[in-house]
Amino acid sequence: MAAAFLIHCVAMGLRGCLPWCVRAICWCSPFALATAAQAEICKYIDPAGNIAYSNVAPEKGWKKLSCVGEESPRSTGTKGAPSPAGFPKVDADTQKGRDDVRRRVLTEELATEEKLLGEARAAYGDGAPKPLTEEQNDAQKYADRLSRLRQAVVLHEKNVEALRKELAALR
């Protein structure tokens, strides 16, 4: 449709495009408005007892009484729509193989992160590593290095925690 519009504009000149553009907007606007009309409308009551209907939650203090309209997939408790006909399926053995590969990769990543965490903790030295020769006269350089070492420890701790959580979800 956009290509047809551009061809029409070139052929008719800019002045000839205006009526065509107005017609296109008139035909398309009901479709744009139709999707907004399908939103979930909720009934709210404020602390004074006034009732309001809205698709947007009001400020704090209002209480939601009920909702009508399209429900979100999270509120229905379903996993989602069923697969369409002809959608490729994975057999159980293939999926088990993929899960095993994923578990192995995550285990290797966890071992690497734990090793890096040990190295970062050793370099950090419980928050009191010995100052380097260039840092002995400049306290700011030492503080900057100490901050970087601490950030490295925290980063590796978070990575180890995330990998352990991911592995626990697989079992």
Query: Does residue 78 come out as left (phi exceeding 0), alpha (psi in the -120 to 50 range) or beta?
Result: beta
pLDDT, tens only, 67-119:
776 554 444 445 667 878 888 888 989 999 999 999 999 999 999 999 999 99
- Nearby residues of 70 by Cβ (< 8 Å), 6 or more positions away: 38, 39, 40
What's the whole-model pTM score?
0.48
104: amino acid identity, one letter: R
Query: Does residue 59 come out as left (phi exceeding 0), alpha (psi in the -120 to 50 range) or beta?
Result: beta
What element of type H or E holds 120? helix 92-124
- Both tokens of 115, joined, read 């090793």
pLDDT, tens only, 27-77:
655 655 555 455 677 777 887 777 777 777 777 777 777 777 655 444 444
